[in-house]
A and B are shown apart, each in its own frame.
Chain A
């Protein structure tokens, strides 16, 4: 197991004219998938941060990138959705492709990024997300 790298998000402030708006705060984080592992394997964000995750799947097999708490992960593990992409923070990433999703971390707490294709989550395909205040 490689030691999870920590991502410190640097927010890119988009200025609309002279005004700074909450909606303009968005950071871009690139996540690689290789050998059925997320890289980085751990993330830290601040509550209120909006992140656009650009997920690159280098594996020859399909994967998922699903953000949520333990209950969400349990639901996905039992779920039957063939693909994801509509809900923010939930995307399917076919083999050899790059997909992106935007997610806002609204409150402090611990979340998980997981893949719930058969046997993937049990194999260890998950990443920790710490949302600070």
Chain B
């Protein structure tokens, strides 16, 4: 694993303000009794393989059933149990928590698969990986009891034009109860995705939200070299609702902690570059994703969603060209509703 050429680690931590009917990431099932109010995702790109770790938070029985859909850059080969506290450790790196609040319960993960190319169960989660156009994926979701908000057709098409791979996730109430899940418990999932074009989905965070609703998210990137990003940031470190809070060499302590978590032994423990990007913008303005280049080339406007969105492409920040890259991992954390981590943030 240490021979990996490219490694980038990113985290998106999102606090979604209490939209009662619309779940983070996007799909809502109206007739069930489980709320899926928080989605956490890790994606890692290692020697052409991207790893996603996604954590979904259980909100307890009652009040409707939420599901979530996560666009993926390519077809995954596996879905497994993820680390127990990787996401929290990354958030802690930039926003240290109250000492007693750290390491709340996270649950396990198993596998899942679904046009259904993979179906797995991860603890109380039913996970289906789908391949298809926006209409096909939307129809599948509808036929399987998900309720899609009105912006779903456009958003699904937006992603399907770039990559026809989606991961649909929801809690199984019986298994959640059987496992004794409590509101606020999260289940992290690790998705392994061979691909040569890693990107971080951001627009999906606004799915189901009113145009003026604020999307808040934290994106962490870890690379063996400083990456080029699109949208690039201006001199003040911001662009299109993204604020580049940190860009620095990752500490040994952070890398050692992350690498010691379950399933994280692929992560190098030195010579990694940490980026922290905070998102705070209107849902209507979050019409793009985050493209990352680790080979010194300008990031792809298609991967950033600008080409599809017909939006003016902001220039990437001026950054030295790096001759080679050692690994990529992306972590997307979507936090919604009341949970320990969110309240701590």
Interface, chain A (partner B; CB < 8 A):
34-36, 58-62, 95-96, 117-120, 122-123, 125
Which partner residue on chain B sits nearest A34 by CB separation? Answer: B153
Contact of A60 among B22, B139, B210 (CB under 8 A): B139
Known A36-B151, A118-B21: A60·B208 in contact at CB below 8 Å = no
Most chain B CB inside 10 Å of its own CB: which residue of A36, A96, A125: A36
Complex Cα distance, B208 from A120, in Å, reads: 10
> What total of chain B residues lie within 8 Å of the partner, measured CB to CB?
22
- Tell me the interface secondary structure of chain B in the complex: helix
Contact of A35 among B139, B153, B210 (CB under 8 A): B153
- Tell me the interface secondary structure of chain A in the complex: loop
Chain A residues within an 8 Å CB radius of B142: 60-62, 95
Our count of residue pairs bridging A and B at CB distance below 8 angstroms stands at: 52
Contact of B157 among A35, A96, A118, A119 (CB under 8 A): A35
Chain A residues within an 8 Å CB radius of B153: 34-36, 59-61
Complex Cα distance, B22 from A122, in Å, reads: 14
Smallest CB separation, A123 vs chain B (Å): 4
A-B contact sample (12 more), CB < 8 A, given A34-B153, A60-B156, A61-B153 = A35-B154, A36-B150, A60-B134, A60-B138, A61-B152, A96-B135, A96-B139, A117-B150, A119-B21, A123-B149, A123-B151, A125-B150
Q: Would you mind naming 13 contact pairs between A and B with Cβ atoms under 8 Å apart?
A: A35-B151, A59-B153, A60-B134, A60-B135, A60-B136, A60-B152, A60-B153, A60-B156, A62-B142, A95-B139, A96-B135, A118-B21, A119-B149
Which partner residue on chain A sits nearest B148 by CB separation? Answer: A61
Which partner residue on chain B sits nearest A59 by CB separation? Answer: B153
Which partner residue on chain A sits nearest B136 by CB separation? Answer: A60
Chain A residues within an 8 Å CB radius of B147: 118
Q: Are B135 and A122 touching (Cβ within 8 A)?
A: no
Which partner residue on chain B sits nearest A125 by CB separation? Answer: B150
Complex Cα distance, B134 from A68, in Å, reads: 31
Complex Cα distance, B136 from A95, in Å, reads: 11
